[in-house]
Chain A
Amino acid sequence: MFKRPASIRARLLAWIGLPFTALALLALASSHLLLTRQINDTFDDMLLNAAKRLERRIYTVDGELHINMHYFSVSTLGSRGQGKIFYRIREVGGPMIAGFPGLGDAPGHLEKPRFFDVAYAGNDLRAVAFTFPFERSRQRTEIEVIVAESKEARYILANEFMLTLSGLMAVGGLLAITLALLAIYFAFAPLNAVGQALRQRSPNDLHPIKGEAPREIQPLIASINQLMQRIRRSIESTQQLNADVSHQLRTPISELRALTELSLKASQEPETRANLAEMRRIAEHASHTVQQLLKYAKTRSELLDDTRLEALDLTEICQLACTQTATGIYQKNQELAFDMAPGQAYQVLGDPIMLLWLIVNLIENASVHAGGQVPYRGSIDLALAREGDAVVLTVSDRGTGVSEATLSRLTERFYRDNPHAPGSGLGLAIVEQIATAHTATLHLANRPGGGFRVAVAFPALRESLPDAPSRAS
């Protein structure tokens, strides 16, 4: 069965809301009880007063008992003029003097006024009964008075009170829930902040979460940081192994390469020379791959520490990369060019050695692959430009370009668009890794005029920042 994940917010709301609702209901019920009792007492008093007034209106004429009904009307009897009034006046043990004969008797003795509920003519009534002594023809007698009124007035008053009270409680409850929701929202804000910070991270960022956090979520952050630390260590050890393997292969490959070259010089026999030349090519390829693997291992962006990044000018690094690659480029009858606005600083935050690798890799990539199936003879153009908040480095050639289908695969490790060209298949993967480490975006495309172009957009460093000394020079 599908189970919804537990929500802390829902739990908090339930734990706060349910008891408070129960309390509110209890409060309403007890209010209702107290209120009806109070209202009843008040109404009863008023009923008794009205009844007492009847007492004064009884008189005798020739020993006959009469009631002065001119001044006595139903409306003046009622407590608030609402509802119906019934009464019955009679001599105790004698005939009825006035009123409704069917009105029920009061239960029990009437030493003092007695209140009771009674039904009459389909009405729920509240009645008061009492007796008072009366002198008739010098004879002492007892007169009993019962006055009853319908209970609507009491109900209406009680209901009005209860309605107002319930309304107030409902408003209070809503206010309380809103406050609770707000409190929950603010209480969860730091947790949400952590979540957001994690979501906004680059997928390769394994640095510990930093910043102030409330005590309650610190254990969670500590655990996340420990986990990231473990992932980091595991990647580190894999990459260290990769680096160690590459490193250990260097010397033997060096020997193979050197001895092959030496033998090639010494040998005159065509078949041996052909084999040796092939061996030399393979050894060169192996040594290139070993070096690229080492670079790949060392530029894993998860392992980079941004605190090592320094403010530097890409111009110098481009110049250095060109100086390093120029000899190889010109030996292949290719040319280099570098375009930038003179006097303009292209400041970025970076690691000079990795940025150098990035640019050298892009130049080499163009040098090896620009011609497609045939060796490229043409210009490799570097350019730096400011585009908004970015410093954009482009390396482009005027070669054959690549098919649109392979564009997206070029940065895959060991993917080689042209398996016949020399290369390790790591060049652009290294470039992408270094770009990622610098929060730069990599854009591979065919040039409109033919050829291939790689653009790397670095976030520009604000000019106002003081220039840090550059190690690249």
Chain B
Amino acid sequence: MKALIVEDNDNLARSIAATLSEAGFTIVLVHDGVAADHALAQGGFDLLVLDLGLPELDGISLLRRLRHRNDRIPVLITSARDSLDQRILGLEEGADDYLCKPFSLDEVSARARALVRRAKHFGGDSLACGPLEFFPDARELRLEGEPVALHRRELEVIEYLMINQNRLVSKDQIIERLSTLDEPVTYAAVETYISRIRKKIGREFGLKTVRGLGYYLECKNHLDGKSYLDCKK
């Protein structure tokens, strides 16, 4: 996995680079928007970590150019500008996630991996969560290496939960994901799928029902993302 980090503050750039490198990314580091634009034009990146306050070409303009040429690369914005309007602007312009400074490096790493995971699930990489591993190509879920017999809908649900591991997933999101025009899905159906998945896996695997909100799949195979809560998308 290859990440482009655009950050003009040297200390932050070094720290983010070291953290993402530890998380398995190959790093390209640039300090201004113009250099970033050149690097992105070459292609081949799996993730862009973008500071908004950049010299030469600011982050939002860079993002706009990127999306204008239909580059779907996942973008994680980091910014010292906190105004929520700024944040919303970033997300509207096509950023996938937003971290405001000061952030913890663990948080950067967790967000970066989540973004790549979400982008990659169209590709062939497997998803892991504790004892579970999901193989998208084979449409197969394995519990400690052993295949679990799940139906198509149940596989779709567990895949979605694993993509969004350690995040709150609402029933509405699952419904939106599963429903097609001719096959609408109800809340009751989602609950049925979840209960069948639980029964078929047959042991605790970190899936929690969040009353009134949805589900939370907790995966402990992560770095401890201890951080303050108040600066998340």
Residues of A within 8 A of B (CB): 247, 250-251, 253-255, 257-259, 261-262, 265, 283-284, 286-288, 290-292, 294, 319, 322-331, 335-340, 353, 360-361, 363-364, 367, 382
Contact = CB atoms under 8 A, between A and B. Distances in A.
A330 B208 contact: yes
Interface residues of B, number: 40
17 contacts: A251-B80, A255-B9, A257-B103, A257-B104, A258-B11, A258-B105, A259-B11, A265-B18, A265-B22, A291-B228, A324-B229, A326-B210, A330-B166, A330-B208, A336-B210, A337-B211, A337-B212
A257 B106 CA distance: 11
Contacts of B208: 330, 335
B144 interface: no
A259 B210 contact: no
Contacts of A338: 210-213
B15 A290 contact: no
Contact of A255 (B11, B84, B212, B226): B11
Contacts of A294: 82
B228 A288 contact: yes
B222 to A, nearest CB: 9
B168 interface: yes
A328 B166 CA distance: 9
A326 B102 contact: no
B31 to A, nearest CB: 15
A291 B213 contact: no
A330 B226 CA distance: 11
Given A262-B14, A319-B213, A337-B211, A326 B168 contact: yes
B204 interface: no
B102 A290 contact: yes
Contacts of B218: 330
B231 interface: yes
Contacts of B168: 322-323, 326-327, 336
Contact of B229 (A247, A250, A253, A328): A328
Nearest to B14: A262
B16 interface: yes
Nearest to B11: A255
B212 A339 contact: yes
A1 B80 CA distance: 62
Interface in B191-227: 208, 210-213, 216, 218, 224-227
Interface in B52-104: 80, 82, 84, 100-104
B38 interface: no
A379 B208 CA distance: 12
Given A254-B80, A283-B102, A324 B15 contact: no
B103 A291 contact: no
Contact of A251 (B9, B104, B227, B231): B9
Main secondary structure of the interface of A (DSSP, over half): helix
Contacts of A286: 102
A283 B14 CA distance: 18
Contacts of A247: 80, 82
Given A251-B101, A259-B15, A331-B166, 9 more contacts: A254-B103, A257-B103, A261-B104, A319-B170, A319-B213, A324-B232, A326-B216, A327-B229, A340-B212
B179 interface: no
Interface of B: 9, 11-12, 14-16, 18-19, 22, 80, 82, 84, 100-106, 166-168, 170, 208, 210-213, 216, 218, 224-233
A77 B189 CA distance: 125
A331 B167 CA distance: 10
A331 B210 contact: no
Contact of B213 (A255, A292, A322, A361): A322
Nearest to B228: A288
B233 A250 contact: no
Contacts of B229: 324-325, 327-329, 360, 363-364, 367
Contacts of A255: 9, 11-12, 15
Contacts of B9: 251, 254-255
Contacts of A254: 9, 12, 80, 101-103
A357 B170 CA distance: 20
Nearest to B108: A258
A353 B84 CA distance: 7
B224 to A, nearest CB: 7
Contacts of B103: 254, 257
Contacts of B228: 284, 287-288, 291, 328
> Which 9 residue pairs across A and B have the least CB separation, nearest first?
A338-B212, A258-B15, A287-B102, A326-B168, A328-B229, A337-B211, A254-B102, A254-B101, A255-B11
A328 B15 contact: no
Contacts of A283: 102
A337 B210 contact: yes
Contacts of A326: 167-168, 210, 213, 216
A291 B230 contact: yes
Contacts of B233: 324
B82 A291 contact: yes
Contacts of A328: 227-229, 232
Nearest to A363: B229
Contacts of B224: 331
Query: Which of B22, B170, B226, B229: most chain A Cβ within 10 A?
Result: B229
A337 B102 contact: no
A335 B210 CA distance: 7
Query: Which of B12, B210, B226: most chain A Cβ within 10 A?
Result: B210
Nearest to B81: A247
Nearest to A285: B228
B131 to A, nearest CB: 18
Contacts of A259: 11, 15
A397 B101 CA distance: 30
B22 A327 contact: no
Contacts of B104: 257, 261, 284
A344 to B, nearest CB: 13
Contacts of B105: 257-258, 261-262
A197 B102 CA distance: 44
Contacts of B84: 353
A247 B79 CA distance: 11
Query: Which of A294, A336, A338: most chain B Cβ within 10 A?
Result: A336
Nearest to A422: B228
